């Protein structure tokens, strides 16, 4: 019993010693000390972080006064106007309904399959009008961005010649090609209704959500608030926009091989289907006349669309 008591005491002393010495050996004590020092400095760091966040927000507001990069706020009417189409929301929905019913009726008559007809109604009513609207909108915005540096050069030369900014904008609205002329005429009309030049330019950036229009609005608004040489600022902006256009063409040339490969891969299923139909129509018509074939077409179309979207995302460069 005495020996057992001595052994138990030694184990207890060893355990107590390990409890005090182990944190020093493993670095736990140093870690706790560091955590305490960090916790004590968190208040100052939090205050500094709040100040930095407020400063970043202020800079972001100054650089993007219009907020036109928030695509979630774009309404259907805004996108229709950006596409250059004169149409209300109700008229657009009526057009979608008529397109869907017409497409579904034609597919139903030609195939005699109710499932294919319903699928054609969905594609013709929900897919094709939105695709056409997005295509018209993109083409109009690209045309605006293509002609915009030349319009800025006209404004720069007019300001250097002594003309006020409003007269230079009016010259662009009268002589520039569409859709640039229409947007600049809208600025003139806004000024005639009592808006300042800064507010009119801000509305331009809202109607035309492109980086070029946003840069133009930023330059005009900063010059309105702080002053400075407007012709020099706009000249620098024109040079930057032309360099961006050169970079865009360079990127498009470098990605042309991948774009061609994506187009060939996406077109192969349709080409093969047409060739099989021309050689063995009864063989491929099973995809359209049987329920199993319809499900196979639907699944294959879904995965093909996923592949096309992935390839498009890979070759769609932002700069």
Q: What's phi and psi for 315, nearest 5 deg?
A: -100, 5
**Is this structure's pTM higher than 0.85?**
no
User: How many other CB atoms sit within 10 Å of the CB of residue 121?
Assistant: 20
pLDDT attached to residue 69:
45
pLDDT tens for residues 103-130?
Answer: 888 888 887 777 778 888 888 888 888 8
User: How many other CB atoms sit within 10 Å of the CB of residue 47?
Assistant: 10
pLDDT tens for residues 248-269?
Answer: 888 888 878 877 887 888 888 8
The reply to whether omega before 179 is within 30° of 0 (cis) is yes
Enter the CATH code of domain 141-253: 1.20.81.30
Question: Taking a C-beta distance cutoff of 8 angstroms, is the pair 209, 140 a contact?
Answer: no
Residues 6+ apart with CB under 8 A from 32: 23
Each domain of the chain, given as residue ranges in start order, spans 141-253, 255-319
Alpha helices in the chain (DSSP H): 2-26, 28-40, 42-63, 76-82, 89-111, 114-122, 128-160, 165-175, 180-192, 197-207, 211-226, 230-254, 256-279, 281-284, 286-289, 291-315
pLDDT attached to residue 63:
45
Mean pLDDT for all residues in the chain: 77
pLDDT band with cut points at 50, 70 and 90 for residue 66: very low
Q: Round to whole Å and give the CA distance between 147 and 165.
A: 19
Largest CA distance in the chain: 112
pLDDT attached to residue 68:
44
Question: Taking a C-beta distance cutoff of 8 angstroms, is the pair 133, 80 a contact?
Answer: yes
DSSP string, 13-48: HHHHHHHHHHHHHHTHHHHHHHHHHHHHTHHHHHHH
pLDDT attached to residue 312:
77
pLDDT at position 72 over 50: no
DSSP string, 165-212: HHHHHHHHHHHSPTTHHHHHHHHHHHHHTT--HHHHHHHHHHHS-SHH
């Amino acid at each position: 019993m005495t020996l057992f008591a001595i052994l138990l005491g030694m184990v207890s002393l060893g355990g107590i010693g390990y409890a005090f010495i182990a944190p020093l050996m493993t670095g736990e004590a140093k870690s706790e000390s560091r955590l305490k020092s960090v916790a004590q400095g968190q208040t100052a760091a939090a205050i500094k972080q709040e100040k930095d966040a407020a400063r970043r927000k202020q800079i972001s507001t100054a650089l993007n006064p219009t907020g036109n990069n928030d695509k979630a706020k774009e309404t259907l009417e805004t996108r229709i106007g950006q596409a250059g189409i004169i149409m209300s929301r109700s008229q657009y929905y009526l057009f979608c309904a008529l397109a869907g019913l017409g497409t579904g009726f034609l597919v139903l008559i030609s195939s005699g399959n109710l499932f294919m007809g319903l699928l054609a109604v969905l594609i013709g009513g929900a897919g094709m009008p939105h695709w056409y609207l997005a295509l018209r909108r993109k083409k109009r915005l690209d045309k605006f961005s293509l002609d915009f540096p030349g319009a800025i050069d006209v404004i720069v030369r007019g300001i250097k010649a002594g003309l006020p900014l409003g007269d230079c904008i009016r010259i662009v609205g009268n002589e520039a090609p569409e859709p640039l002329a229409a947007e600049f005429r809208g600025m003139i009309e806004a000024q005639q209704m009592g808006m300042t030049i800064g507010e009119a330019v801000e509305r331009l950036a809202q109607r035309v959500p492109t980086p070029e229009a946003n840069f133009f609005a930023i330059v005009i608004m900063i010059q309105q608030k702080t002053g400075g040489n407007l012709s020099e600022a706009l000249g620098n902006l024109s040079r930057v926009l032309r360099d961006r256009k050169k970079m865009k063409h360079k990127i498009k040339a470098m990605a042309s091989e991948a774009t061609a490969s994506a187009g060939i891969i996406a077109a192969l299923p349709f080409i093969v289907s047409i060739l099989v139909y021309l050689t063995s129509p009864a063989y491929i018509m099973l995809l359209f006349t049987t329920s199993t074939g319809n499900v196979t077409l639907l699944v294959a179309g879904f995965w093909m669309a996923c592949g096309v979207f992935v390839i498009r995302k890979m070759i769609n460069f932002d700069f």
